[in-house]
Structure 1
Amino acid sequence: MPRVLVADDQDLFRGGFSLILDSQPGISVVGEAADGAEAVRLAVELSPDVVVMDIRMPGVDGVEATARICARTAARVLVLTMFDLDEYVYAALRAGASGFLLKDAHRDVLVEAVRVVAAGEALLAPTVTRRLIADLARRGGAVPRLAARLGELTARERETLEQVARGRSNAEIASALCVSEHTVKTHVSNLLAKLGLRDRAQAVVFAYESGLVVAGAHSPE
């Protein structure tokens, strides 16, 4: 059962999200935070599985709170915001967020997002993914330090990372590489461990920053 902490400085949103999530079978809201500092404190105290995190909050904002929570706990962070802006997407993912949704998402999408993130997967809204890729493309070429780390991966792990960065599911990757889904899961786990990445969301950022995947380019099928 995913245990959830909801962090939002607006009482209406915070209460609404908590009500929606706590009414779902298998989900339990264990706490609410009105700002980033309180979110960090409660994440440490309550050990939730998922923190639903607003971005714009007074004092410690959602990006900094996400970084602190990911550094100090095993909780996974789902960023939920009204602001579909590049800098927030990029900053939140770099801080360790596992998912990013806009507040106008349907309630069913929010519930499913919490379940997906709690299960260890990454989740990005389609508009967020497009903006992230465009933002990474504008930042220029590969970062040499990260590009060098690609040498730590086997050929199959590099292929798997490229597929992950293109937003493909394990089933789709298995079909493309002609292997089993279990093998794909093993490759993903291995490459995350070798690169010191938290999850697939950070793997996407790494793939673009390292130059393994170039925005706008298509891999051969």
Structure 2
Amino acid sequence: MIRVLLVDDQTIVRAGLSVILGAEDDIEIVGEAADGAEAVRLARQLRPDVVCMDIRMPGTDGIQATRAIAADPALSSEVLMLTTFDIDEDVFASLEAGAAGFLLKGADEATLLAAIRSVAAGDGTLDQRLTRRILREFTARRASAAVTDRGAAGEVALTEREGEVLALLAEGLSNAEIATRLFIEPTTVKYHVAQLLQKTGARDRLQAVLWGIRAGHVDLH
């Protein structure tokens, strides 16, 4: 069962999400919050698997809340950002804060459900309409920045195969697709992904890709 916390300042949005998610046998809504501060409090109290987080809210916004949740060592909750806005500064700030995924609110029900399940599994997700644009922009923004993150290029040595897997993760490929591309078993891909997460200290696949961009292991140009 995937335990979900809904966070949005609009009651009607939370109600709509409740109807969609509540109809699924493998998803349980454990709580709702109307702002970021309440989201952090409930995340610590309820320990959800996934927090569906609106970005723009009065008071403590979704970015601040995401940063607090991602930084709390006692929590393993993954944050899926939901917004009506296209790519803007908030998206990049959300990714930097530790969000495991990003989805436009206009996404259909199947895409929303797939995103929640993907994030809960530790795979991370980006709206496919935005993935390449987001990562390319992220690459450009980090190109001239000093790499100060834990697991910088000079501190972490990836094997050739791990580098290949990381590059394919950046293309948004699943384990099965990566296995086909590299002519290896899906279980072997899963092992390499686990090694990447351990070496880089990333919470999920999306954050591992962002680490790869910062450290110069991933080039999307």
TM-score, normalised relative to structure 2: 0.91
**Residue number in structure 2 paired with 1:148:** 154
In the alignment, is residue 167 of structure 1 matched against residue 157 of structure 2? no
Mapped to 2, the partners of 1:129 and 1:110 lie a distance apart of 15
* Structure 1 residues 142 and 170, CA gap change in structure 2 (3 angstroms): farther
Q: Partner of 2:137 in structure 1?
A: 135
Matched residue SS, 1:162:
helix
The offset of 1:152, in angstroms, is 2.1
Relative to total residues, which structure has the larger helix share, 1 or 2?
1
> Of the candidates 80, 83, 97, which is equivalent to residue 81 of structure 1?
83
1:104 counterpart = 2:106:
yes
**Residue 33 (structure 1) aligned with residue 33 (structure 2):** yes
The letter for the 1-side match of 2:125 is: L
Q: What CA distance in whole angstroms lies between the structure 2 residues aligned with 1:141 and 1:207?
A: 15
Q: 1:177-192, aligned counterparts within 5 Å?
A: 177-192=182-197
TM-score, reference length from structure 1? 0.91
Determine if contact 2:166/2:218 at 8 Å carries over to the other structure: no
For the residue of structure 1 that corresponds to 2:154, the secondary structure is helix
**Contact 2:87-2:134 at 8 Å conserved across structures:** no
* Aligned amino acid, residue 194 of structure 1: K
1:181 CA drift (Å)? 0.9
User: Residue in 2 aligned with 1:62?
Assistant: 62
1:22 is aligned to 22
**Contact 1:142/1:210 (<8 A) preserved:** no
Which amino acid is 1:148 matched to?
Answer: G
Write out per-residue CA displacement over residues 115-152 of structure 1, whole angstroms, 9 at most, x where no aligned residue: 22112211111222133123124323474553323x42
**SS of residue in 1 equivalent to 2:51:** strand
Secondary structure class of the residue paired with 1:127: coil
CA distance, structure 2, for counterparts of residue 142 and residue 204 of structure 1 = 17
Matched, 1:92 2:97: no
Identity of aligned residues (%): 52
Gaps spanning 5+ residues in structure 1: where?
Answer: 217-221
Change (3 A) 1:177 1:130: closer
SS of structure 2 residue aligned to 1:147: coil
Report the alpha carbon displacement of residue 171 of structure 1 after superposing the two structures with TM. Answer: 1.5
CA distance in 2, matches of 1:141, 1:20: 43
CA distance in 2, matches of 1:102, 1:144: 30
Partner SS for 2:69: helix
* Secondary structure of residue in 1 paired with 2:31: strand
Cα distance, 1:39–1:144 mapped onto 2, change above 3 Å: closer
For each residue in 1:140-179, what CA deviation from the matched residue of structure 2 results, as whole angstroms up to 9, or x when unmatched? Answer: 3474553323x42222212211121122221222222222
Cα contact 2:81–2:102 (8 A) shared by 1: yes
Shift of 1:11: 1.0
Moved over 3 A (4+): 141-145
Question: Could you tell me which amino acid in structure 2 is paired with residue 199 of structure 1?
Answer: D
Question: Is the 1:141–1:209 contact (alpha carbons within 8 Å) kept by the matching residues of 2?
Answer: no
Question: Do the aligned residues in 2 keep the contact of 1:143 with 1:211 (CA within 8 Å)?
Answer: no
Aligned to 1:219: none
Structure 2 unaligned runs (5+)?
Answer: none
1:106 Cα deviation from its structure 2 partner: 1.0
Match of 2:153, SS state, is: helix
2:128 corresponds to which residue? 126
Q: Give RMSD over aligned pairs.
A: 1.6
Superposed CA offset, 1:5-53 (max 9, x none): 0000011111111221112222111100000000000001011111100
